Structure 1
Amino acid sequence: MMSQDEIIRFIRSQKVTVVTGVDKDGFPSQKAMFAPRRIDGRTVFYFSTNTSSQKVEIFRANAKAGVYFYKQGKDKYIGIQLRGTMEVLTDRESKASIWQPTDTLYYPLGIDDPDYCVLKFTVTGGRFYSEGKTEDFQLTDDEA
């Protein structure tokens, strides 16, 4: 099992994240997204997305969420599943905090584009998988 800091370093090294919510019919709904733009401590992750997206609609109706990171090497697979809650943030301060200049490709009106928002994921627990072993874990912002 990795330490909490090793888990965060692993997550920071990933380029793709699978984000899951629960749709109005109670079924899981997954979406591959870019990795988090920002991680506060070990328990709060920020993603950018379109306000008009289905996932925003899903998280506004039900905040329960899962986030999955993985890496498959030649001889090893590592998977880290986090569970928690997802908030949809549309205030300018939140949007500015993770804005990148290349975002104008997706949001031509800039930070104030109404189709640009932030997903804030707060971790409540996790599960680690590697080499046939699975283990539940807790991430905390306390020093280990």
Structure 2
Amino acid sequence: MIHDPVMTIGNMIDHQELAFIGSVDSNGFPTMKAMLAPQKRVGLRTFYFTTSCDAKRTQEYQENPKGCIYFYDPTFFRGVMFQGTVEVIVASEIKEDFWKPENEGYFVNGKKDPNFCVLKFTIDKGRYFSNEKVDDFEVSEE
């Protein structure tokens, strides 16, 4: 059992450049995509990513909000998978908090671009793999 999941897993996540996010397509099959690490995380409960509203993954979350995130640390051969739900956020005041200048190459109208959105993952449970051991855990409100 992990002694302090928030510290152990959180530290691992904060050192990763990529995350893999999963969704369910319209035929009920899982799909996966690599993305840059989340722009923000709140404990192990909430993760925020930015993307396009017209992206395939975004559309899948709007049809079925079930999703997962996987982080992998190849140096120590460990990883964590989270399951939960995804909310697609298009509210200007929230999008503004997540805008970065490097997004300008993707969104010509800046932070007010209607195609710019935020994915908010709310996590319910996770599975951590390290040292050939697997720990399942629930994630509660923080």
TM bin (shorter chain)? over 0.9
Per-residue CA deviations over 1:37-96 (Å, capped at 9, x if unaligned) read: 0112331110000111000110000000000000112xx301100000001000101211
Partner of 2:95: 95
Partner of 1:85: 85
The runs of 5 or more residues in structure 1 that have no matched partner are: none
The runs of 5 or more residues in structure 2 that have no matched partner are: none
SS at match of 2:139: coil
Aligned length: 140
Per-residue CA deviations over 1:79-115 (Å, capped at 9, x if unaligned) read: 1000000010001012111111111011121011111
Partner of 1:63: 65
Structure 1 CA distance for aligned equivalents of residues 60 and 72 of structure 2: 23
AA of the residue aligned to 2:37: A
8 Å contact kept, 2:10–2:43:
no
SS at match of 2:108: coil
Percent identity between the two aligned chains: 34
8 Å contact kept, 1:14–1:69:
yes
Normalising to structure 2: TM-score of the pair?
A: 0.93
Structure 2 CA distance for aligned equivalents of residues 110 and 2 of structure 1: 43
Structure 2 CA distance for aligned equivalents of residues 2 and 21 of structure 1: 30
8 Å contact kept, 2:124–2:140:
no
Give me the CA root mean square deviation.
Answer: 1.3
Out of 49, 52, 57, the position equivalent to 2:51 is 49
Structure 1 CA distance for aligned equivalents of residues 139 and 106 of structure 2: 32
1:2 Cα deviation from its structure 2 partner: 5.6
AA of the residue aligned to 2:121: F
Residue 20 (structure 1) aligned with residue 22 (structure 2) = yes
Per the alignment, do residues 39 and 48 of structure 1 end up closer, same or farther by CA in structure 2, a change over 3 Å counting? same
Structure 2 CA distance for aligned equivalents of residues 120 and 57 of structure 1: 14
Normalising to structure 1: TM-score of the pair?
A: 0.92
1:8 Cα deviation from its structure 2 partner: 1.3
